[in-house]
Amino acid sequence: MVEMLWVQNFWLSAICIPFIIIIREKPEFPPSMVSLEKAKEANFCSNIADALKLKHYVLLILIFMLLQGGFLAFGININQLLSPPFTDVEISGLGSLIILVGVVTSMLAGFILNKYHKYVLMVRMSTFGTTILLGVSVYAVYIENKLFLAVTLICAAVSLIPIIPVGIDFASELTFPYEETVVTGFLLMSAQAFGFLLSLAVLKVVVIQRIYGFGMLAGCAGLAAIISLILREDLRRLSFSRTNS
């Protein structure tokens, strides 16, 4: 028994020693200047009240609400919007493909943002691309072309879904040094609330005519595109990092 415990302790020590060697009291290189700037500590309401004084953050919230809320409304009412002519199995497959394509595109958008920091350009590409493609989807519903509608919706996902990582990172840039979890949380919360209300409105009009639902989603994207024209890049976090580097 004693021998077994000795063997176990020997191997445990052998495993831990390499980790003990590489553990340092402090990092070899100092952290970035951004990390040295403390977030403004305040309660949720105070942080949001101060952040909402920033014009471009408010504009970003409106854009994010219209696009992400539209995507949520589409997802909630996907059966009513696509059936008929799509079957339940086809709707499930199309929905999965839309999400998959959107996730891959979001990863690509994140890579581009990290390298070039072109936030406004990417927001405009997302809003205008989504507006055009949803407008085309209205036409596809009108001519009742099933394949054309499916392809159009997949392409719309490529344009729309990247607004999620772009919007979250852009919100952090616009509101620095306010607490990131608060400002991005409010951004997401606003989109969720608007998406719920929009889904109820879409459900109301889809009962009358299916094409009206697609028209409403295209209209929201179009309004977001118009707002994006007055959005500007106020990269406070990036500017602070460059100034103090």
Q: Hey, CA dihedral for 206, 207, 212, 216, is it positive or negative?
A: negative
Which CATH number describes the domain made up of 45-243? Answer: 1.20.1250.20
Give the tokens for residue 129.
């691309």
Q: Hey, CA dihedral for 81, 87, 90, 91, is it positive or negative?
A: positive
The backbone torsions φ and ψ at residue 29, rounded to the nearest 5 degrees and listed phi first, read -115, 145
With H, G, I as helix, E, B as strand and everything else as coil, classify residue 43. coil
The CB density around residue 76, as the number of other CB atoms within 10 Å, is 17
Say what the pTM is: 0.78
Residue ranges per domain, the chain?
45-243
| CA distance linking residue 223 with residue 66, whole number of Å | 8
Residue 186's pLDDT is 92
Per-residue pLDDT tens listing for the chain (245 residues): 444 444 444 444 544 444 444 445 555 544 544 444 454 455 667 778 888 888 999 999 999 999 999 999 999 999 999 988 888 899 999 999 999 998 899 898 888 888 877 889 999 999 999 999 999 999 999 998 999 999 999 999 999 989 998 999 898 888 887 888 889 999 999 999 999 999 999 999 998 889 999 999 999 999 999 999 999 887 766 555 555 55
Which of the 8 DSSP states describes residue 30? P
